[in-house]
Structure 1
Amino acid sequence: MKFCTSCGQKMENNSPFCKACGAKMETKKPGRTRTASTASAMPSLASLSKRTKILIGSALLVLILCVSLYKVGEAYTDKAKLMENFEEQLEKGNADELLALLSPKEDSGKITKKNVEALVGFLKEYPDAKETLAAQLKDNAKAYDATAVTASADTGETQQLVTLEKRGKKFLIYDNYELVLQPFPMTIYTNYDDLTFYVDGKKIKPASVEGDMVTIGSYVPGDYDIKAVLKSDFVQLEKKAEINHVGPTDTDLLFDIDYVSVNTNVAGSSVFVNGKDTGMKVDEEKYIEIGPVLTDGSMTVQLKKDMPFGKIESEDAPIDSNQLTLGLTLAHKDKEKVKEGLKRHFLNLSKALANQDAKFFAEDSNDVSEFVTDSFGEMTGEDWKTIGYVSSIEVDTDALYLEDIEGKWFATLPVRTKWMEDSVYSGDPVSLSEQSSEDSYSLSFQNGKWSVESWGYIWSFDDEHAEEIKVDTKALKKQLESSPAFTSIKAEQSTDEVESFVESYISASVEAINHRDYSIVSGDIDSSSEYTTIVSDYIDYLDKKGITEDLVNIDVEKVEPLDDGSYHVYTFEEYNIHYDDGTSKYKSFDGKYKVTSTSSGLKMYDLVSTEEVESKDL
């Protein structure tokens, strides 16, 4: 049954109009029919073609891929992760990784590993600075998060070593963040104008000059070699410094410039500064002024001159004062020629003393000064005579000093000599002993060689710089002892001296026997004779037998000089001899001894013979 939707009256099932009000009735189609109609409007997946299915799947895949790539790119360009990686590599000190993370500021040049290493080294040395940098980078990130305004490509001047900066887009859609290593001004303070500056060997033009402050430019952190160059009239002056440039740096390059007065010992010497000839010459007053030059010791000055006796030069001295004294001296090979002159003098003097004749000074074409001749005359007077030979020569050529006196060149140096010598009065015995002397010797250059001119006393001799001039002492001793003058002096010795020596020797022999000590008498025996062994063996023999003796009396009956300068001495000797069995005997002997006269005095050479005169029990 149906009802009218307008008046509510009951209607017949098949009537299209309401009989009460005449309203038309709308008949709804069955739901099944509507569903079928909808299904026919939207085809099922199974009814789609294969091509359509592929297109729909591809579209969905592209959509998913785009979303994924966006998320990956978003993570890749994330500034938080960039800073986290930077801090991690900084903590590790990984310069290579940090180099890849850092970007240069525009127009500041390429960043190198050395720049990064300088930054790492600075932050390692100053942990507070590293903490400050980390905080500053976080502040940079917060600033970008808080504003939608796009940052400029580079920030202005900053005190921050590394900054986080947004530089355009990456992949067209993402904000691009970079860690920028900031350059800082490098300032030089100097005290001279018109300087040329170099950084790591490259000439640069300063960014600004304000009085004594020169701003070289802005440089990223690193170790730099800077140099300021000043050109004077005759030399180029340089001042260098090594800078660890992290943050703004100030460096002093002050030139210690002055004019320097140089005094020397040779006029006409050429002046060399830093090894280069300046063309300047020392004046006749042996003085010169050079400059302007650095007086901080970084520059050197040297004087040189060619002479007939070789090239002379001073030390290459640092200029560290405005007053310098430089002495020119001989080269090593030319100093050897001075040593040859000294040796020639001392050998000639030894020969002259041995022969008591000044003519030997002139041997080997040696030039003999008046001073040398007069000094030798004083050593070989009528009554007192010096006799001997040189046994050692030492010189200090480091202290050699050259001087030009009225056109004549002199070389003066300390000399220490040792002599075996004695000064004897006529008729006295010769007893040579070692004598030492330290003097300053002056040699003049004449006829192509150095000859001793004079000598005088010095206070001390520097052992550290002593150089030995070797001499043949055995040959010199033989030369002395075989010379006629020495033999003549020996012949003049009185027999009393010989008698006294023999008496002393026999007395010492008895003491040596009783003490069983050969050394008591060894110094009185000629070491070149076999008598040394005989006496030593005799003392040992008496020791084994237990024999001792007392010297009762000795008479020297005769002293006979021999042609070779030795003596035969005849004696009468009396002894009380004690044996190990407790018995004693008196014995007397006639003895004959040979005594030699040596450079060390009288010596017992041999017991030529001995004959028992009397023997009796005590």
Structure 2
Amino acid sequence: MKYCKECGKELKPSAQFCNDCGTSVNGSPVPQRQQQTAPQKKMSKKNKIILASAIAAVVILLAGYKTGEAFTSKERLLEKFETAVDKKDAKALAKVISTDDNKLKVNDKTVKGLITYYDENPEEFDMLVDDLHNQSGTDRSTEGPINLKMDGKKLLFYDNYQIDVTPYYITLSTDYKDTVLKVDGEEVGTADSDGFEKTFGPYVPGTHKLSAALATDFTELAKDASIDLMGTSTDTSAYLQLDGEEVELSLGLEEMPDVKGKLYVNGKETEIDPYKDRSFGPVLVDGSMTMAVETEYPWGTAKTEDVSIDSSYMSMPAPSEDMKQQLIDRVVAVNDQYAEAQALADKGKLKDATANYQDDAKDIIDTYTTWDESYQGSLQSTLFDMDSFLLDYKDGKWYAQVDASVTYKEDWYGKEEQPELTENTSDNSYTLIYDEKAKKWLVNEVGSVWSLGDNTKEVVNEEATLYKPDGSAKTEAATTSKADVPETASALMDNYLNGLIDAINNDSFDSVAPYMEEDSELYEAQVALVDNLTSKGITENLDAYDITGYSEDGDSATITTIESITISYSDGTSESQQYDWTYTAKKSGDDWKLTKLE
């Protein structure tokens, strides 16, 4: 066997060279080929441009991918959401939220409630943002009105994140048929029955404004509320109860007369005849509305005073001022006739009284004539309780009642005596009956009453007639003692009356304004009066006035006057008028100011 002299490896018998090291079998190395290196060829300009473009394209694609990834990231979406809410940007917010409910409209109007809610509850918004950052978008167990959601890919490569809102529904209920219901100012339905209830929606989570409105024959009732749609329950209820109530009117009559009437609410005529249907509504019973009743009585049509509706059960308002005056005139006349009837011992002098009252008077006359006494007397004044007027219907007749204090200067004396006239006052309750044949009210009965109220009106018999048994009569000025009128009241009335004349004649309301309480009923009425008369060129002259009564109750006072005025018109004509007024004054610091005129 042969072995290589160089590396010792076994050689094949016919081998000329060692296969491992290349040494010849005789020990000489194998000649090596000289390796030739080919000359390097330079890259062309075109190839350089292609290579550079390829590298740039890769860089741009990589940068674009990273940019797209940033713009479509969860963080970018949440940043937009947070910024839109912080800046109260409804348009921007509507672009970053979505919903799976195709019935839910998401736009700049419907998301305003969401902004409102988080504006009023910033700590909840901070918690929401933190929670959204921690959500993966794939956890379907997450519950709440607002959640992060990942749904497929955007632009083929990127995860598609969405801020998903839960749809909410509102069940609205209300009292009355025809009530118009609104959510966020948009009408959603009209009640088709009393006790109406219906579900509306869906709505974006947040604070939503609710309203109910009903236009009735009497007024417009309205209710406003707000509701927060944020809880786990997606169906929330709201009861929009209108503040109106049905009112029951008590006419205060023992029997129901066959008359026609009209109900007025807030000064407007309604279609309700309270003598046929004594309930009406719905109306407000908080005192903000008024009612009055007009009746076609046998003595003419009369309308009551307006009274505030402050209860669901109202009594018939007091008779009108005109009707009160009719009754006042009748009582005063009968009081004067009573003095004459006693002096002449003749019940027939009671011309404005019923046979019943004439008989009562005769019983009194018979008493002192039996004692062989005579009577002299004159009516001095009658003080009426203006809150005591009542009207009733029974036994097919109309009755009226009023309380009044009557004062006479009188004396009952024997044959050998001279009359010593002194003032006597009694508090009476007068009952009158309407005589349809005579077409007038007659005094039917006079009883006693304990006392009168504070709201009074005094009628002074300025030219009292002294009746004597011999039939002679003497007219003299009344000497009835009146309540002392404080100098402050006298000065107030003098300044006010003369100031009002100056205001009318010179278009200068400042002349009378200081003597009235600003914004009072009287102040507003006299502003209108001065404007009206001056615009028509009408002037007035205060001929005379007298304070006929004064009463004071704490910081309030009542002053009654008789005023004689000459009114001159723009056409050169004039007329004289006499007025009986009742003023209300209130204390303002150390001064008194007028507030009301009746």
User: Structure 1 residue 303: deviation in Å?
Assistant: 7.5
Residues 278-312 of structure 1 deviation map (CA, whole Å, 9 limit, x = unaligned) = 888857xxxx7979x98997999997754342155
Cross-structure match for 2:404: 416
In the TM superposition, 1:210-359 aligns within 5 A as 215-220=199-204, 221-225=206-210, 242-247=225-230, 248=233, 249-252=236-239, 264=251, 265=253, 266-267=256-257, 305-308=295-298, 309-311=300-302, 320=312, 326-327=315-316, 330=319, 332=320, 335-347=321-333, 349-350=335-336, 353=339, 356=343
Work out the CA distance in 1 between the residues paired with 2:104 and 2:261. Answer: 49
Q: 2:391 aligns with which of 389, 398, 402?
A: 402
Q: What TM-score, normalized by structure 2, do the two folds share?
A: 0.53
Residues 174-217 of structure 1 deviation map (CA, whole Å, 9 limit, x = unaligned) = 4343333432233468999x9999444322899xxxxx996545
Say if 2:102 is the partner of 1:106. yes
Work out the CA distance in 2 between the residues paired with 1:344 and 1:300. Answer: 30
Q: Give the gaps of 5 or more residues in structure 2.
A: 1-16, 477-598
Cross-structure match for 2:527: none
Work out the CA distance in 1 between the residues paired with 2:442 and 2:114. Answer: 66
SS of aligned partner of 1:142:
coil
- Aligned-partner residue type, residue 368 of structure 1: A
Q: 1:369 aligns with which of 332, 348, 354?
A: 354
In the TM superposition, 1:482-561 aligns within 5 A as none
- Aligned-partner residue type, residue 102 of structure 2: E
Cross-structure match for 1:27: 34
Backbone CA RMSD of aligned residues: 5.9
Cross-structure match for 2:583: none
- Aligned-partner residue type, residue 203 of structure 2: Y
Residues 334 and 353, structure 2, Cα contact 8 Å, conserved in 1: no
SS of aligned partner of 1:185:
strand
SS of aligned partner of 2:136:
helix
Residues 410 and 445, structure 1, Cα contact 8 Å, conserved in 2: no
Measured at CA, do residues 472 and 28 of structure 1 come closer, stay the same or move farther in structure 2, by a change above 3 Å?
Answer: same
Measured at CA, do residues 424 and 202 of structure 1 come closer, stay the same or move farther in structure 2, by a change above 3 Å?
Answer: same
Measured at CA, do residues 63 and 243 of structure 1 come closer, stay the same or move farther in structure 2, by a change above 3 Å?
Answer: same
Work out the CA distance in 2 between the residues paired with 1:251 and 1:82. Answer: 34
Work out the CA distance in 2 between the residues paired with 1:179 and 1:273. Answer: 58
Work out the CA distance in 2 between the residues paired with 1:436 and 1:342. Answer: 16
In the TM superposition, 1:465-480 aligns within 5 A as 466-468=455-457, 471-473=459-461, 475-477=462-464, 479-480=465-466
Residues 346 and 390, structure 1, Cα contact 8 Å, conserved in 2: no
User: Structure 1 residue 349: deviation in Å?
Assistant: 3.0
Q: 1:461 aligns with which of 449, 452, 456?
A: 452
Residues 377 and 421, structure 2, Cα contact 8 Å, conserved in 1: no
Identify the range of structure 1 (96-105 vs 214-223) with the bigger mean alpha-carbon deviation: 96-105
Cross-structure match for 1:203: 189
Say if 2:65 is the partner of 1:48. no
Measured at CA, do residues 213 and 171 of structure 1 come closer, stay the same or move farther in structure 2, by a change above 3 Å?
Answer: same
Cross-structure match for 1:142: 136
Residues 312 and 329, structure 1, Cα contact 8 Å, conserved in 2: no
Say if 2:171 is the partner of 1:164. no
SS of aligned partner of 2:404:
strand
Residues 397 and 433, structure 2, Cα contact 8 Å, conserved in 1: no
Work out the CA distance in 1 between the residues paired with 2:111 and 2:469. Answer: 86
Residues 79 and 177, structure 1, Cα contact 8 Å, conserved in 2: yes
User: Structure 1 residue 346: deviation in Å?
Assistant: 0.8
Measured at CA, do residues 440 and 92 of structure 1 come closer, stay the same or move farther in structure 2, by a change above 3 Å?
Answer: farther
Work out the CA distance in 1 between the residues paired with 2:159 and 2:165. Answer: 19
- Aligned-partner residue type, residue 327 of structure 1: M
Measured at CA, do residues 218 and 345 of structure 1 come closer, stay the same or move farther in structure 2, by a change above 3 Å?
Answer: same
SS of aligned partner of 2:78:
helix
Measured at CA, do residues 253 and 311 of structure 1 come closer, stay the same or move farther in structure 2, by a change above 3 Å?
Answer: same
Cross-structure match for 1:75: 70
Work out the CA distance in 1 between the residues paired with 2:98 and 2:269. Answer: 47
Q: 2:434 aligns with which of 421, 424, 444?
A: 444
Cross-structure match for 1:432: 422
Cross-structure match for 2:170: 186
Measured at CA, do residues 165 and 64 of structure 1 come closer, stay the same or move farther in structure 2, by a change above 3 Å?
Answer: same
User: Structure 1 residue 336: deviation in Å?
Assistant: 1.4
- Aligned-partner residue type, residue 237 of structure 2: D
Q: Give the gaps of 5 or more residues in structure 1.
A: 11-17, 147-154, 207-211, 491-618
Residues 186 and 217, structure 1, Cα contact 8 Å, conserved in 2: yes
Measured at CA, do residues 279 and 436 of structure 1 come closer, stay the same or move farther in structure 2, by a change above 3 Å?
Answer: closer
Q: How many residues align?
A: 426
Aligned residues with identical type, % of pairs: 18
Q: 1:387 aligns with which of 377, 380, 387?
A: 377
Highest CA radius of gyration, 1 or 2? 1
Residues 484-511 of structure 1 deviation map (CA, whole Å, 9 limit, x = unaligned) = 8687999xxxxxxxxxxxxxxxxxxxxx
Measured at CA, do residues 122 and 481 of structure 1 come closer, stay the same or move farther in structure 2, by a change above 3 Å?
Answer: farther
Measured at CA, do residues 456 and 99 of structure 1 come closer, stay the same or move farther in structure 2, by a change above 3 Å?
Answer: farther
- Aligned-partner residue type, residue 339 of structure 2: L
Cross-structure match for 1:116: 112
Measured at CA, do residues 163 and 421 of structure 1 come closer, stay the same or move farther in structure 2, by a change above 3 Å?
Answer: farther
Work out the CA distance in 2 between the residues paired with 1:75 and 1:107. Answer: 32
In the TM superposition, 1:581-596 aligns within 5 A as none
Residues 374 and 469, structure 2, Cα contact 8 Å, conserved in 1: no
Measured at CA, do residues 471 and 130 of structure 1 come closer, stay the same or move farther in structure 2, by a change above 3 Å?
Answer: same
Residues 90 and 115, structure 2, Cα contact 8 Å, conserved in 1: no
Cross-structure match for 2:128: 133
SS of aligned partner of 2:162:
strand
Work out the CA distance in 1 between the residues paired with 2:470 and 2:154. Answer: 115
- Aligned-partner residue type, residue 445 of structure 2: S
SS of aligned partner of 2:353:
coil
Residues 65-123 of structure 1 deviation map (CA, whole Å, 9 limit, x = unaligned) = 55444434333332224334545665677767656654455312245557534664477
Residues 443 and 454, structure 1, Cα contact 8 Å, conserved in 2: no
User: Structure 1 residue 20: deviation in Å?
Assistant: 9.0
Residues 118 and 244, structure 1, Cα contact 8 Å, conserved in 2: no
SS of aligned partner of 1:471:
strand
Measured at CA, do residues 143 and 166 of structure 1 come closer, stay the same or move farther in structure 2, by a change above 3 Å?
Answer: closer
Measured at CA, do residues 440 and 261 of structure 1 come closer, stay the same or move farther in structure 2, by a change above 3 Å?
Answer: same
Residues 441 and 455, structure 1, Cα contact 8 Å, conserved in 2: yes
Work out the CA distance in 2 between the residues paired with 1:97 and 1:436. Answer: 84
SS of aligned partner of 2:210:
strand
* Structure in which a larger fraction of residues adopt helix: 1
Work out the CA distance in 1 between the residues paired with 2:62 and 2:355. Answer: 117
Residues 415-444 of structure 1 deviation map (CA, whole Å, 9 limit, x = unaligned) = 333424333323244243362524244352
- Aligned-partner residue type, residue 417 of structure 1: S
